[in-house]
Chains A and B, each alone.
Chain A
Amino acid sequence: MRTFSELELDALTEAFNLSLGEAAATFSSIVREEIELSVPTIEILSRDELIERLESGRPAGADERLCRINQHFNAAGGFQTDALLLFPEHGSLEIVRRMLGDDTPIQHITELEQDALAEIGNIVINSCMSSLANLFGTEMIGSLPRVQSRTAATLLDDKNASDVILVARIGMTMAAYNLSGFVLFIMNVPSIESFMAQVSRLFNLPEHDGSQARP
């Protein structure tokens, strides 16, 4: 599987960082509270690698569910991707309830809270998507966000094992809460090839050279 060179990764990080800054500003204006989105770290992983990563990051025996906000994007020219935002369910609930000024302890997320979470995902995903759309110089038609709550093991069951995933890890901080989540762009093989080519071309980077690949 192809990976990004460091220069390419830096360029992508910078592009995402700018859009996430905008997303944070949008949030802050909605909830009238300071919200920070951290500088993302970016990697390319296979589906199974990602699941392994998600499962190993948590204490043994914890069966905490993850909240998944999914939007599908279609680019002109057949290129398409699923954009996903993942948060631990418990932490995201705390953030949403704090945003809504309601700390009532209900174990599961309510319909309205799920809606709010969809909007949050929508804002983050759209802002990231704007970076990609800029890179591609094309329009990306996006679907409405869909919220699902799953365990890490079953989180990506609807995706193909061969899919390649561009993973941006972001942190979200609000008041005393710290929430770490991932933004994923899941693409099939032709899409990722085209995507790679776009990245190289747009940043005017030399064609991929194995010696520059990240270890």
Chain B
Amino acid sequence: MSFQSLLGNSVDIGLILLDSSGKIRLWNHWIEQRAKRSAAQAGGLTLTQAFGERIDPRVALVVREAIDFGWSGRLSHALHPMPLPLFPPGGEHSERMKQSIDITAVDCDDARHCLLQIRDVTETVRREALLKQQARQLRSDLQSLSRAQIELQRSEMRFRELARQAPAGLFEADSQACCTFLNERCEHILGNRLDDVDDTPWIDLLPVGEQARVRTSWRLAVESATRFAEEFRYTRPDGKQLWMRAEAGPLRDQYGSISGFIGTMVDVTEFHERASRNEFRANHDGLTSLLNRDRFERHLRAALSGAREVSDRVALLFIDLDHFKQINDTHGHQAGDIVLKAIAARVRRVVRSDDMVARYGGDEFAVLLNGIGDETALHGIIAKITQAVAMPINLGSCHVRIGSSIGMAVYPDHGDDPASLLTHADKAMYSAKRGRCEQALSSQT
């Protein structure tokens, strides 16, 4: 084996040497393996004879230029993917190997030769395809990331604007109840800016009397990861008293544990005031603001069961105005109303504050006296009431006087249930009235 072919066979590259007439002089082992033709078979043939007609015409052209003009040329894989019919060694391959060919003019033995160096670029092509695929993937990932980012910004803006315009106070607080976000409305309701209160649990801002209850409720919501909802009184820094309702749901961090709460804070002062007005109206007489009959009877029942337990005495008085109808007829209903209001106020003043006074019917009043003393004390109260009622009443244009008849029933002396006590007091009142009428009649005669 010649030195030339020994060298040629030991490199990992295809070498073909052509002489000045284009005949193959060297055909190394690398080529033998891939061209399925031995050096012995190829020697002396032209490239076209060795490979057939299936070679890229540019190979022949550049070979010609090398031999004729001494130029060198490169056939890149990119522009000439597989110029020669070379196949990967071993096995049956129908597709040509990916190649890149350098063609150089070589002068040896005083004659121009042409050397073809053929490289297998299959691995390079695979690597670059992978690189480009990764680049495309990266670009598409980047695009979807930036789309997601834009969407996130948009949604963040949407929620920020919603929070700004929301008619309710919105707040977010950590599990220690320190606020991490307040919308403008919430800052307005609380009368505090977030910066001023963010290091204090918001519950500490409530009146001391409310704190324990709300704090317990908050702690319970944090521990059980449930909704928090409480109503409480609140005194704003400017001194205004409010009723507030806070409702919030738990927020979870990426590990699923409770990181805080987000919810609404609503000023329910008006609602509360209206509710208490309604409650008053339901239990009180509109004209005199005394308890109404219904409410009075409920108090009576409660007082009786209370008295029964502690063996106390309870007195029930019925007061009926004498000849009230005449005032209405003579001076009109407005005058009648003035009289009723005046009487109500006087009776209220005479009894103790924990005694109950009710307008029982048109011109009927009822009084419930708890923990009464002996008969004498009781008669003293009745006398005071009678006296107070009898005082002249200013109607503006004139003064009127009105008498009253009072009937009394005492638990347990006259009955041990509301109905029997009411009946007894009613009867006692009528008998008192009859007595007064007879007295009046007899005084007229």
Chain A interface residues toward B at CB < 8 A: 30-31, 71, 96, 99-100, 102, 104-106, 110-113, 115-116, 118-119, 122, 126, 129-130, 133, 139-145
| Interface 0/1 of B127-138, CB less than 8 Å to A | 010011001100
Q: Please count the residue pairs between chain A and chain B whose beta carbons lie under 8 angstroms apart in the complex.
A: 79
**Given A96-B78, A116-B78, A141-B70, CB of A106 within 8 Å of CB of B135:** yes
Q: In the complex, what residues of A have CB within 8 A of residue B124's CB?
A: 111-112
The 6 A-B residue pairs with the shortest CB-CB distance in the complex, in nearest-first order:
A116-B78, A115-B76, A141-B70, A104-B132, A119-B76, A116-B76
| Chain A residue at minimum C-beta to C-beta distance from B107 | A141
B77 CB–A CB distance under 8 Å:
yes
A118 to B101, CA, bound (A): 12
Whether A106 and B71, one on each chain, are in contact in the complex, defined by CB atoms closer than 8 angstroms, is no
Chain B interface residues toward A at CB < 8 A: 58, 65, 69-80, 100, 102, 104-105, 107, 121, 124-125, 128, 131-132, 135-136, 139
Q: In the complex, what residues of A have CB within 8 A of residue B100's CB?
A: 115
Whether B65 and A112, one on each chain, are in contact in the complex, defined by CB atoms closer than 8 angstroms, is no
Q: In the complex, what residues of A have CB within 8 A of residue B136's CB?
A: 104
Whether A30 and B58, one on each chain, are in contact in the complex, defined by CB atoms closer than 8 angstroms, is yes
Partner of B79, one of A116, A139, A142: A116
Listed by A's residue number, 13 A-B pairs whose Cβ atoms lie within 8 Å are A99-B79, A104-B135, A106-B131, A106-B132, A106-B135, A112-B77, A116-B77, A119-B73, A126-B65, A126-B73, A141-B107, A142-B72, A143-B72
Q: In the complex, what residues of B have CB within 8 A of residue A116's CB?
A: 76-79
A96 to B76, CA, bound (A): 12
A139 to B105, CA, bound (A): 11
Whether B71 and A144, one on each chain, are in contact in the complex, defined by CB atoms closer than 8 angstroms, is no
Whether A122 and B139, one on each chain, are in contact in the complex, defined by CB atoms closer than 8 angstroms, is no
Whether A122 and B69, one on each chain, are in contact in the complex, defined by CB atoms closer than 8 angstroms, is no
Whether B76 and A112, one on each chain, are in contact in the complex, defined by CB atoms closer than 8 angstroms, is yes
Smallest beta-carbon distance B430→chain A, Å: 108
**Given A105-B139, A110-B131, A141-B105, CB of A100 within 8 Å of CB of B69:** no
A30 to B69, CA, bound (A): 22
Partner of A30, one of B79, B105, B128: B79
Q: In the complex, what residues of B have CB within 8 A of residue A104's CB?
A: 132, 135-136
Q: In the complex, what residues of B have CB within 8 A of residue A126's CB?
A: 65, 71, 73
| Chain B residue at minimum C-beta to C-beta distance from A117 | B76
Q: In the complex, what residues of B have CB within 8 A of residue A133's CB?
A: 69
Whether A129 and B131, one on each chain, are in contact in the complex, defined by CB atoms closer than 8 angstroms, is no
Smallest beta-carbon distance A116→chain B, Å: 4
| Chain A residue at minimum C-beta to C-beta distance from B61 | A26
Smallest beta-carbon distance B57→chain A, Å: 9
| Chain A residue at minimum C-beta to C-beta distance from B78 | A116
Smallest beta-carbon distance B173→chain A, Å: 47
**Given A104-B132, A105-B139, A106-B132, CB of A112 within 8 Å of CB of B71:** no
Whether A140 and B69, one on each chain, are in contact in the complex, defined by CB atoms closer than 8 angstroms, is yes
Whether A122 and B74, one on each chain, are in contact in the complex, defined by CB atoms closer than 8 angstroms, is yes
Whether A119 and B135, one on each chain, are in contact in the complex, defined by CB atoms closer than 8 angstroms, is no
| Chain B residue at minimum C-beta to C-beta distance from A110 | B128
Whether B78 and A144, one on each chain, are in contact in the complex, defined by CB atoms closer than 8 angstroms, is no
Whether B78 and A112, one on each chain, are in contact in the complex, defined by CB atoms closer than 8 angstroms, is yes
Whether B69 and A139, one on each chain, are in contact in the complex, defined by CB atoms closer than 8 angstroms, is yes
Whether A122 and B70, one on each chain, are in contact in the complex, defined by CB atoms closer than 8 angstroms, is no
A129 to B72, CA, bound (A): 11
Smallest beta-carbon distance A121→chain B, Å: 9
